[in-house]
């Protein structure tokens, strides 16, 4: 029962907060951590990586917008 409650809290009651945290991650940390991972493994950065970083920023922006809409409209509460 505790597992269900933990999942339900994230997926329903705290979903906006979860989306907000993920949005900040993709906007603020994803590219740096991915670059670090590539450097550690010796993988050179390519144009494809830069496209990935732009897409991650776009995703972060969308996640923050979704979180804002959920909060403003009192969805899933």
User: Each residue of 8-64: pLDDT tens digit?
Assistant: 777 778 899 999 999 999 999 999 999 999 999 999 999 999 999 999 999 999 999
Exposed e or buried b for every residue in 20-50, given b needs 16+ CB within 10 A? bebbeebbeebbeeeeeeeeeeeeeeeeeee
- pTM listed for this prediction: 0.83
Residue closest to 58 by CA, chosen among 46, 66, 68: 66
What is the distance of C-alpha 55 from the center of its chain?
A: 12
Kindly indicate the confidence band of residue 5, based on its pLDDT and cuts at 50, 70 and 90: confident
What is the structure's pLDDT at 55? 98
């Amino acid at each position: 029962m505790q597992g269900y409650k933990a999942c339900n809290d994230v997926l329903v009651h705290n979903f906006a907060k979860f989306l907000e945290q993920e949005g900040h991650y993709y906007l603020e940390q994803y590219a740096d951590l991915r670059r670090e991972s590539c450097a550690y493994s010796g993988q050179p950065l390519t144009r494809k990586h830069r496209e990935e970083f732009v897409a991650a920023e776009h995703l972060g922006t969308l996640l923050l917008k979704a979180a804002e809409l959920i909060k403003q409209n009192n969805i899933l509460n």
